Structure 1
Amino acid sequence: MTATTATPGQSYAPPPPPRRGATAALRDAVVLMGLPLAALLVVPGAFAGGGTRRWFGGRAESQRAEAQAAKDAAAAAFYELDTAQRDLRISIETISAVDDSPAARRALSDFEALGRRIDEASNRYIEAIDAYDLDRDDLEAGAASRARTEITRAKDELVGVKRELDRFGESLGPLLGKAETQLARLAPAVERARQALLAASNALDAVRETQLRADELAARLAALAPELTKLNQGAGQHGVQATLERAGRVQREAEAIRVEAERLPEKAAEIDHRLVSLRTRAQALTTRAGQVDPVLSELRRRFAAACWQDLQQVPQQAVDNVREAERKLTEAQTARDAQKWADATSLLATVRALLNSTDEAVSAAGDRLSRLNAVQKDPQAEIERTRFAIRDAQRLAMAGRTSPDPRHARPLDDAVARLDRAVGALQGRHPDYWHFLTETEAVRQSVARAVAQIREDRGTGH
């Protein structure tokens, strides 16, 4: 309120009414003693100092009393409005500190508009009060009547604005509830972040006692120091929402550091175990790679070139891969000794990938020879296996129908033709058994796709 509203944080006392004379004081005393107001007319020596007072009759005094009552009522309305405005300002400041949504900004704007309305009503109230001295000895009945009318009008305006303010306050319920909920979360969130940082620091200390340095984790924890400083500065400086987000982020990172620190001894032991295991596996692959040459020799002697040409590079690739794996193992051991855990883990993953690909290549040569031996001995088993898959799909395509759906029949007919061509290619002096095996496998895959399509179409009602 203009000129009368206390600033936030200050105590407020209602404005003192204009100074009242001895007449008003005596009237109040008479009323308090239960005497009729007219008794004032017969009390001798009523005024301090022995003075006398001029009277203008009962009507003037009655109007004065009514005007004074209106003034008292207006003062009460003014005080209630000012109190409600101060209380609501606290709610608005709470919302503004937490919420920057369009609804919150609109509430702030509406409150400022109401503040202007309150200032206008307050100014009219003050002007009405200042316009009349109800304690004047010569106050006429007409003046007292006008005072009562104007003060009552000012009071009614104050009451009306108070109703608007109350309705506005009720409309803030959802926004205020949300803001208070976030404020209630603030202190626990900050405390959880601090406790998480303390737990991470303690975990690092425990790790260092086992002669593990954990330098990377320590650096990550040190990087959180500026964030802790901002948390300690509080939401008043950085905002509630930003502080909540910062507290959550610090808590998550600190907890991650703690978990990694607590697991570090186990991780070191795991890296040591993998170093030994992969070194043993590399030695075993060196031995197995030496067995590829005899397999290739037999493939060259008994089967067409197309059956083994893609395996020619396997022996040398195996040697190169194992040599590279052993070099990476040495680097991983160095990284582990330096306690560079991330580097050691990455190098071990590279070693594993190299050994896996070498294992697959070495195994492929032996598997190729086994499959070629089986199909050379009895190609009919592979043919029947593929034809069975085709016939089973054809029965599914005809189930409940007198003729197959062309969309289903076409890929199955193509599979039959492709199998016939593969079988025909076996006729000759040096058949390409590997091509035959890859073709029959491809036929079975195409049939499997056709079966899946038939089931999907029937499931959707097509």
Structure 2
Amino acid sequence: MLPRPSARGAFARGAQSAREVLGLALLPLLAAVVLPAAVAGGGTRRWFGGRSEGQRAEAQAAKDAAATAFYELDTAQRDLRISIETIVAVDDSPAARRAVSDFEALGHRIDECSQQYITAVDSYDLDRDDLDSSTAAQARNALTHARSELDRTRQDLDRFGQSLGPLLGKAETQLARLAPSVERARQALLAASNALDAARGTGLKADDLAARLAALGPELTRLNEGAGRHGVPETLSRAEQVARESEAVRSEAERLPERAAEIDRRLVSLRTRAQALTTRSGQVEPILSELRRRFTAACWQDLQQVPQQAVDHVQQAEQKLKQAQSAREEQRWPDATSLLSTARALLNTTDEAVSAAGDRLNRLNAVAKDPQQEVDRTRFAIRDAQRLAMAGRQTPDPRHAGPLDNAVARLERALTGLEGRHPDYWHFLTETEAIRHDVGLVVNDIREERGAGA
């Protein structure tokens, strides 16, 4: 709570003085009526003319001007107090705390000059009949000095108020955001509740969403208690959090029927795929038999475990699908989704293994029939890399020439390996594939170096 300066009481006394000024202003009119009667009836009031009356008028004018200055200062202080209270309600930064401290210091100064003004007003009774010119002059000087202090203090107060512009603007912006933010949070919470009711109307429990929505209840209560209790920054942050989490609940609740339908579709699809893989995995053993009969052991040894692995993986996948079905019936959506993903991964692995056996046989049949196609593919890749390495050069860079020459030698050795009664066609295929890969790395290096130098 900011301190209330004693200038408030001072202003009340200043207002009384202003009424006294107003009474003095009526004296000429009263004199016009009373003076003839006094002369006629022997009145007792003593009047001073000339310099004395001129000094009285000047002192009264100074008193009037001081009262105006006092009123203006009091008004400015009250207006600035509202600005300070606005800043304090929103901002707790060092700059805001410094502004409060400076305002309090100005309040002490206002008290001092206000007291000086009140003392000057109380020290001189300008309505006295026997007010002499010297006393009137003293009153004028004291009141003029008091007015000057009041004016200077008000000017300093005005400058201080102008310096609060950035802080006040920030505070007013946040206050302007407060009501809309709280209202958005309430509307988001209502929309989430309606969406949850709609999802439950389709027979879905959505217990996890209901729990998340219930957890927002205390936050709504704090929002309703207002920024006066919890502060503007905290209330804004809470409103944004409630709106964000309510929106997430609403979105999930609206997607829940679709999510349930998607899980049902995936269950059907993965069961069908598991059945198909069971059939396909039964074809692996005949493929392995042909591989054993026609090719060396190196061509098929790594595939020996595929039939049993396929059976095991399909059984595991089917078990996961049963668990996913149970989770779906209990509406444990995250568990159902996770189990379906696991089943899918198992089936993918099985599919790749089963496909690999058939693909191996096809590739070995092709290279056994005509290895020249594989040789031509590899030679083309090497020659293309050699042309690129020589482009714009008289001699190739040793960093590129070495790997390419080595690729040529490797290809010749791979061809030599096909000679004999039982060639290792699988080694030939993997070696030519590795050669093309290494040649591709050289090509990438050449292009990157030339691109960097461009």
Output the TM-score relative to the length of structure 2: 0.91
Change in 2 beyond 3 A, CA 1:2/1:258:
closer
**Cα offset, 1:305, TM superposition:** 1.9
Gap change, CA 1:409 and 1:14, over 3 Å in 2: farther
Give the Cα separation in 2 of the matches to 1:137 and 1:30: 12
Give the Cα–Cα distance (whole angstroms) in 2 for the partners of residues 273 and 242 of structure 1. 45
1:25 and 1:360 map into 2 onto residues whose CA distance is 105
State how far apart, in whole Å, the 1-side matches of 2:258 and 2:18 are: 85
Match of 1:378 in 2: 370
Deviates most, 318-327 or 164-173: 164-173
Q: Which residue does 2:239 correspond to in 1?
A: 247
Aligned counterpart in structure 2 of residue 149 of structure 1, from 132, 138, 141: 141
Cα 1:123/1:412, change in 2 over 3 Å: farther
How far did residue 30 of structure 1 move? 4.5
Query: Aligned letter for 2:15?
Result: P
Partner of 2:212: 220
Cα 1:14–1:142, aligned 2, differ >3 Å: closer, same or farther?
closer
Judge conservation of contact 1:189–1:244 (CA < 8 Å) in 2.
yes
Q: Structure 1 residue 4 and structure 2 residue 20: aligned?
A: no
1:351 correspondence with 2:340:
no
Q: What is the match of residue 447 of structure 1? A: 439
In 2, distance between residues paired with 1:172 and 1:193? 31
* 3-state secondary structure, aligned to 1:327: helix
State the alpha-carbon separation in 1 of the partners of residues 34 and 150 from structure 2.
Answer: 35
Cα deviation digits, residues 260-304 of structure 1 (max 9, x gap)? 112212221211111111111111111111111111122222222
Partner of 2:15: 16
Counterpart contact for 2:317–2:346, Cα < 8 Å:
yes
Q: Which runs of 5+ in 1 are unaligned?
A: 7-11
Structure 2: distance between partners of 1:439 and 1:104:
74
Q: Once the two structures are superposed, what CA deviation does each residue of 1:141-168 show, in whole Å capped at 9, x if it has no partner?
A: 2222122112211211211121122222
Which residue in the other structure is 2:279 paired with? 287
The one-character-per-residue Cα deviations of 1:7-66 (angstroms, maximum 9, x if unpaired) are xxxxx8674334987xx77641245x5x9x9x69955449xxx97333444322222221
Given that 1:27 and 1:40 are in contact with CA atoms closer than 8 Å, whether structure 2 keeps it comes out as no
Contact kept, 8 Å, 1:20 with 1:135, in 2: the verdict is no
**Structure 1 residues 265 and 56, CA gap change in structure 2 (3 angstroms):** same
In the aligned structure 1, how far is the partner of 2:449 from the partner of 2:43?
114
Q: Secondary structure at the match of 2:453?
A: coil
Separation of aligned partners in 1, 2:277 and 2:22: 113
Q: Secondary structure at the match of 1:54?
A: coil
Corresponding residue for 2:118? Answer: 126
**Partners in 1 of 2:171 and 2:25 — Cα distance?**
48
* 1:115-153 Cα distance to aligned partner (Å, 9 max, x none): 333233223222322332323333332222122112211
1:308-323 aligned within 5 A: 308-323=300-315
1:303 aligned to which of 295, 305, 310 = 295
**Amino acid in the other structure paired with 1:298:** E
Matches within 5 A, 1:37-52: 42=35, 44-45=37-38, 52=44
CA spacing shift, 1:242–1:198, aligned 2, 3 Å: same
Give the letter aligned to residue 284 of structure 1: A
**Secondary structure of the corresponding residue to residue 434 of structure 1:** helix
Structure 1 stretch 213-222 or stretch 386-395: which is displaced more?
386-395
2:59 touches 2:139 (CA, 8 Å); kept in 1?
yes
Alignment of 1:12-411 (within 5 A): 15-18=14-17, 27-31=24-28, 42=35, 44-45=37-38, 52-411=44-403
Question: Which has the higher mean CA deviation after the structures are superposed, 97-106 or 229-238?
Answer: 97-106
Could you give the per-residue CA deviations for residues 203-236 of structure 1, whole angstroms, max 9, x where no partner exists?
Answer: 1112222221111111111111011111111111
2:405 maps to 413
Q: In structure 2, do the counterparts of structure 1 residues 294 and 42 end up closer, same or farther at CA, with 3 Å as the change threshold?
A: same
- 1:3 is displaced (CA, Å) by 1.7
- Equivalents in 2 of 1:111, 1:415: separation in Å? 84
SS at match of 1:460: helix
Instruction: Summarize the Cα distance change of 1:425–1:95 in structure 2 as closer, same or farther, 3 Å threshold.
Output: farther
Q: Deviations over 1:397-450 (max 9, x none)?
A: 222222333444344334334333433333344333222222222222222222
Deviates more, 1:333-342 or 1:56-65: 56-65
Judge conservation of contact 2:15–2:67 (CA < 8 Å) in 1: no
Q: Which amino acid in 2 is paired with 1:29?
A: L
- Computed over aligned residues only, the root mean square deviation of the Cα atoms, in angstroms, reads 2.6
Give the distance between the partners of 2:405 and 2:102, measured in 1 at CA: 77
Q: CA deviation at 1:307?
A: 1.9
**Aligned AA (1:427):** E
Q: Which moved more, 1:397-406 or 1:252-261?
A: 397-406
* Number of corresponding residues: 448
8 Å CA contact 2:266, 2:340 repeated in 1: yes
Q: Is there any run of 5+ residues in structure 2 with no aligned partner, and where?
A: none
CA distance in 2, matches of 1:443, 1:353: 32
Which stretches of structure 1, 4 residues or more, deviate above 4 A after TM superposition?
18-21, 24-27, 39-44
1:9 corresponds in structure 2 to none
Greater fraction helix: 2
TM-score of the pair, normalised by structure 1: 0.89
Change in 2 beyond 3 A, CA 1:51/1:270: farther
The change in CA–CA distance for 1:414 and 1:114 in structure 2 (over 3 A counts) is: farther
Q: CA deviation at 1:357?
A: 0.8
Residues 4, 15 of structure 1: 8 Å contact kept:
no
Amino acid corresponding to residue 416 of structure 2 in structure 1: G
- Decide whether the 8 Å contact of 2:321 with 2:339 is kept in 1: yes
Larger mean CA deviation between 100-109 and 85-94 belongs to 100-109
Change (3 A) 1:16 1:418: same
Report % sequence identity.
72
